[in-house]
Amino acid sequence: MQVVRSKLELKKILSSQTNKSIGFVPTMGSLHEGHLALMKKARLENDFVVASVFVNPTQFGPNEDLDAYPRDETKDIELSENAKVDLLFIPSVEEIYPRKVSAQVKAVLAVDVLDGKARPGHFDGVLTVLLKLFMLVQPDRAYFGQKDAQQVAIVQNFVSDYFLPVDIRTVETVREADGLAKSSRNVNLLEEERNEAPVIHRALLAGKDRILSGCQSEQEILGAVQEVLQDVTLKLDYLALYSYPDFKPVTDFTKPMVLAAAVKYKKARLIDNEIVLPSGGEAECYEQ
């Protein structure tokens, strides 16, 4: 595996990969099994796999955890090599943002709910850095986790709207044995918080079960989730049910939906979701 830190070096190596399909896994590092599942899928579907490790400052708000975001470059390099990544791009902030951008990328659709509402400007920063990385790597396919369901939908819309020649591939959420979604932020949980956090997924499953049993009342579905959460100390940032993948209010309970939650702990904010397919359709993700 080659580790590169400059755009020029990246371009030089990629220019030699003629007639090869390129799979790309953009990450913010602190890699875990969820990222490795993306790399595994990229390895299966492409001739050459590129991953990036870059904690993108433009997607963090002024009161968010940019400085506290976990970083472990040595481990990231080791895990990427074990996952058979061909090239790992680890640029500095100055390499990606050498000057103030002259034009802004702004997310418009599906951003007035969930993380888009809770974190104003977050998805503008996500799309900005992804556009830069897509232009640098020019991948055939890029890989994202279903845990970030809203992000996946926004990125897919962005790629489609601007005719970017990259196929966005999604992979199912990877979980701990107790159901907690894998996240780089999990390391910031206090012991009692980590012990409690799996209840997020259990609560979402309770709501999903209510939908699959035929319930068509949003109030009852969210109530089933809240019932599981009522005796715990976590602070809900949001809990919502939307149509999927357009993230609009549900009007047809026979079509795909997303049941999503975000929880704030002392030093971590966790998100999770369940995609619900009541009519037996196929999810737009790929099993590991």
Residue type, 241: L
Compute the distance between CA of residue 51 and CA of residue 87 in angstroms, rounded to an integer. 6
Per the annotation, does 288 bind a ligand? no
**One-letter amino acid of 9:** E
The answer to whether the annotation marks 266 as part of a ligand binding site is no
CA-closest candidate to residue 239, choices 259, 220, 261: 261
Q: Is 216 annotated as a binding residue?
A: no
List of residues 6+ apart from 264 with CB closer than 8 A: 234, 235, 236, 237
Q: Is 52 annotated as a binding residue?
A: no
Strands (E) located in the chain: 2-4, 22-27, 48-53, 87-89, 141-145, 167-171, 235-243, 257-264, 269-276
Q: Is residue 150 annotated as involved in ligand binding?
A: no
Query: Is 21 one of the annotated binding-site residues?
Result: no
Annotated binding-site residue? 61: no
Does the annotation place 160 within a ligand binding site?
Answer: no
Question: Any binding-site annotation on 199?
Answer: no
Q: Is 201 among the annotated ligand-binding positions?
A: no
Q: Is 32 annotated as contributing to ligand binding?
A: yes
- Joined together, the tokens standing for residue 281 give 């359709």
183 among annotated binding-site residues: yes
33 is an annotated ligand-binding site residue: yes
Buried b / exposed e along 114-146 (16+ C-beta atoms within 10 A): bbbeebebbbbbbbbbbebbbebbbbbbbbbbb
Closest CA to 286 of 135, 152, 131: 152
Q: Which of the residues are catalytic?
A: 35
The terminus-to-terminus CA distance of the chain in angstroms comes to: 23
31 among the known binding-site residues?
yes
Q: Which of 86, 7, 82, 10 is nearest to 47 (CA)?
A: 86
Q: Two tokens at 128?
A: 């900005």
Residue 148, marked binder: yes
Residues at the binding site for beta-alanine are 59
Sequence ranges of the binding site: 28-35, 59, 145-148, 151, 174, 182-185
Binding-site residues for ATP, in ranges, read 28-35, 145-148, 174, 182-185
Binding residues for (R)-pantoate: 59, 151
